Amino acid sequence: MPELPEAETIARELATALTGRVLNRPIVVRADVVHGDVRLVTTYDTPSRRDLTIGRPRNDGAPGRVIDVGRRGKRVIVQMEHGARITFALGMTGSVTIEEAGAECAAHTHLRIPIGDGEREVRFCDPRRFGGVWISNGREPDTGRRLRPLGPEPLDVTASEFRRIMRRRRQVKALLMDQQALAGMGNIYCDESLHRAGIHPRTPASELTDGRVAALRRAIRSVLRSAIRFNGSTIMDYRTPGGREGSFQLRHRVYQREGLPCRTCRTPIERITAAGRSTHFCPRCQPPAPN
């Protein structure tokens, strides 16, 4: 959490709120959560406080205009004029909100970016700090701590590309969760997709027939599209930038439904560990692959 549908919801809401607006100098509350290209960062005397200028390689302090907000995997990317880019990696507990500048900051707010005349600001909050913010000039690759290359997008991956990814011997759930194989899936949407495709989460991917692989790709697309339509799943504290909850959790068929009847066959949902994560599945709809 959050996964692709939540990141997509955040990106769409930010695009509506920010496109065409200027962003001013960010206020870095916690420097080790914010990673920047050195040419975009000015370090002041106090080491705990950095002052960043986004959008201008020369650090002249002028605000930059947002031209677009998009998503890649579970990351939200704000594209500025002049080519600069702000990447929010949401990790386990990251959130991006738009709030009145005078509103009290939630605990664990690490970065604040004033919008336009400064009445409102973008805030990045991440209690567990598995996420972070990366600021780059857009001309160099976004490398650095934890910002790794990503595999193809599950909503864009072609059938043949997906078949190639699924040729590996790893357990299918572990493979789907691997961001370098496919970018954007996490625990919730893996479990939901595998249930819809009727595949046991521990099945070695390479043992799936082409027909099962095609069914899995269709299930993933259907689950993700539906989850985006319902603004994602609010399990713990995920909210959209405007503070709304997602509602796809009401449509989960297996995730966190241990002991409850399968919505397809009424068999109680079971929970096991797969890919090192708590995994929910229906033993009848998703039988284990024969040895």
What is the set of active-site residues? 2-3, 74, 277
What is the total count of residues that contact Zn ion (CB under 5 A)? 7
Let me know: does 13 contact 241? Beta carbons within 8 Å: yes
Q: Which of 98, 125, 228, 285 binds Zn ion (CB under 5 A)?
A: 285
Task: Report the candidate in 50, 3, 45 with the shortest Cα–Cα distance to residue 28.
Answer: 50
Least distance (Å) from Zn ion to the CB of residue 224?
21
Q: Which stretch binds Zn ion (CB under 5 A): 17-25, 27-35, 219-227, 279-287?
A: 279-287
Q: Which of 222, 226, 264, 278 binds Zn ion (CB under 5 A)?
A: 264
Contacts of 204-211 with CB under 8 Å at 24 or more apart are: 204/169, 204/170, 204/171, 204/172, 204/289, 205/165, 205/166, 205/167, 205/168, 205/169, 205/170, 205/171, 205/172, 205/175, 206/166, 206/167, 206/168, 206/169, 207/289, 208/166, 208/172, 210/163
Let me know: does 28 contact 49? Beta carbons within 8 Å: yes
CB closer to Zn ion, 223 vs 262 = 262
- Which residue has tokens 């986004």? 54
52 CA to centre of own chain: 24
Q: Which of 262, 274, 280, 281 binds Zn ion (CB under 5 A)?
A: 262
242: tokens are 């405007």
Residue nearest to Zn ion (CB): 262
Least distance (Å) from Zn ion to the CB of residue 173?
17
Q: How many CB atoms lie within 10 A of CB 172?
A: 29
Q: Does 265 bind Zn ion (CB under 5 A)?
A: yes
Least distance (Å) from Zn ion to the CB of residue 192?
13
CB closer to Zn ion, 120 vs 200 = 200
CB closer to Zn ion, 41 vs 282 = 282
Q: Does 288 bind Zn ion (CB under 5 A)?
A: no
Q: Which stretch binds Zn ion (CB under 5 A): 91-99, 131-139, 210-218, 262-270?
A: 262-270
Q: Does 197 bind Zn ion (CB under 5 A)?
A: no
Cα–Cα distance, 67 to 81 (Å, whole number): 6
Residues that bind Zn ion (CB under 5 A): 262, 264-265, 267, 282, 284-285
